[in-house]
Chains A and B, each alone.
Chain A
């Protein structure tokens, strides 16, 4: 064997480790989840009860699944337009120096540890949205079911907004990259037939990079689904039926915050750890689906 072959084998081995790890994690999660599904059946996915008390054990992850979906949805709803605006400004309207500085600043947002976002959300942002968003909405539109809970600032809305801020760096940087790939010929073509800058952006850049942008959104969604620490500090951590999303201002819980909160003290001889590992399995499947589809769309675009 020459060096080339040895190196080839070595890198192949290292590369397959990551695949093997994912497979092993999946197998172990399924193995530990089995007992709880065996006992709860389909109720594990559709029940709203979550009761680890000995003798009353019952586990249903529906409220937490919905909590994950709702907070991620808010994050996308708020975070994507902002990121999109940032990316458009950087590629189409700003000059090179400004672009460098601004781009770096936004990437720095990604370097802030999530627990810092959580602390900020708890001590500062909470008071802000409570005073200026939640209380006025509750006061004037409390009749609408989505604003119907007495606001405390620790709820789905706060969780979703924190997530929105956290996904901005990834969504905006990928969108910027995608928009930069738009060939100059297309832009020049539109200018040549008398189009305005607006026409170039909307009919040229955005239409050309549609797939890449969808990929960026999905990658942001992937981050939002898995985020734990910051969310659990601001979402109110309700359990069971109380965690069902009744309104934007009700306290809830996501799958990942549930696991982080309860795993340490879960009674090892009960089904509680299994039920939590099952929540992890659901989370893994959600994350894999979202990320895979994002990669597929992005790579299709790159080709």
Chain B
């Protein structure tokens, strides 16, 4: 009896050590066959990057993209500390950040738009809004849907005599940055009182966490208004407003009107290694350009050899992946609710990617 149980124990022990041995072996083999590229940042682009990372396995099976969607702020922090190989941010680096992240290259990898969604029971037509009106709603100066400034924009619609419930994102977010960037551009008062940022001091309103939080709050609360990402609005069939652009047209956010915003400003874009701090696609001049649009950026160092754990092969693979993202990778955008880059921007990105080197060695053709 006793002998039997000892044998059993011994067998169990043997099995256990065998499993550990297999695991250690697996760890030892893994690095040589699979190359892991680490990235972190924006939650907005996470669905796109994870799609890219699985699709790119078909192109280069030995490469694995590991992306942590910890938010743009966190992505910038890890990028500056050189903890990750690339960062992703919805806002470009500002002056202070450029100083600590020497040699940063901005690569806009996709386009996003912010839509103004609302809950008006008994109103079935799409409503029209202007930037000034949205700013005054968020400043608390227009408090009712029946306000004559809203009524004037929507002649055929009977607006309810109800208080507007203003909804914003509770947590810091790139979407908030784009939205407040737009309001700062179209309303002087917004610019001086609140300004632009990933989180701002909202004068009024309720905060909800995430695009899904804002969307479900809009659905739950009658007579509310809020801003969400276009990709999210498209997936969930939310109603959203047409917004008056610089040209005077009321534009509905669709991929074409978003792309036009980027291409109408492509000539004024900086080079990859210059500062992108002042780049803003909001209130773009195109005739049918939707006014609340922005890039999302990948951040890279121009000399990859400064990153710990980087070697020439890994650097080459990373650059090839970037090249693939801005070309073939764009085909996956639309189905996920993102807008592909216009050709002018792809051209700028090509030059930027050619600037990325390893110990001064070019990784991809060009200068």
Contacts and interface: CB of A to CB of B under 8 A. Distances in A.
Interface of A: 49-56, 122-123, 126-127, 150, 152, 154, 232-233, 236-242, 251, 253, 257, 260-262, 264-270, 272
Given A52-B172, A122-B216, A262-B172, 14 more contacts: A51-B195, A52-B198, A52-B199, A154-B206, A237-B207, A239-B202, A242-B202, A251-B206, A265-B72, A265-B172, A267-B94, A267-B197, A268-B80, A269-B97
Interface residues of B, number: 40
Contacts of A272: 199
A54 B94 contact: yes
Contact of A266 (B73, B170, B203, B221): B73
Contacts of B200: 51-53, 239
Contact of B74 (A49, A253, A265): A265
A265 B206 CA distance: 19
B255 interface: no
A69 B211 CA distance: 29
Interface in B214-232: 216-217, 220-221
A265 B97 CA distance: 14
A243 to B, nearest CB: 9
B70 interface: yes
Contacts of A54: 94, 195, 197
Q: Give the residue among B165, B171, B196, B200 with the most A Cβ atoms within 10 A.
A: B171
A266 to B, nearest CB: 5
A128 to B, nearest CB: 13
Give the interface centre of B173, B199, B221 by most chain A CB atoms within 10 Å.
B199
13 contacts: A51-B195, A123-B220, A127-B220, A150-B163, A233-B209, A239-B200, A241-B203, A251-B207, A261-B172, A261-B199, A267-B97, A268-B77, A269-B96
A50 B77 CA distance: 22
Interface string B318-330: 0000000000000
A269 B171 contact: no
Given A50-B201, A54-B197, A236 B207 contact: yes
Nearest to B208: A237
Given A237-B209, A264-B74, A242 B203 contact: yes
B201 A239 contact: yes
Given A51-B200, A126-B220, A265 B173 contact: yes
A237 B195 contact: no
B104 to A, nearest CB: 13
A129 to B, nearest CB: 13
List 10 A-B pairs, minimum CB-CB distance, nearest first.
Answer: A265-B172, A237-B207, A237-B170, A264-B71, A265-B73, A53-B197, A53-B195, A240-B201, A261-B171, A268-B77
Contacts of A236: 206-207
Contacts of B213: 233
B198 A267 contact: yes
B206 A238 contact: yes
Nearest to A251: B206
B97 to A, nearest CB: 5
A272 B171 CA distance: 13
Given A152-B165, A237-B170, A265 B207 contact: no
Given A265-B71, A268-B80, A269-B97, A238 B207 contact: yes
A100 B199 CA distance: 49
Contacts of B205: 238, 242, 251
Contacts of A260: 171
Contacts of A261: 170-172, 199, 207, 209
A82 to B, nearest CB: 27
Interface in B158-209: 163, 165, 170-174, 194-209
A142 to B, nearest CB: 13
B100 interface: yes
Contact of B201 (A49, A257, A270): A49
Contact of B195 (A56, A241, A242): A56
B76 A268 contact: yes
A264 B206 contact: no
B173 to A, nearest CB: 6
Contacts of B70: 264
Given A238-B207, A268-B76, A262 B197 contact: no
Contacts of B165: 152
Nearest to A235: B207
A162 to B, nearest CB: 15
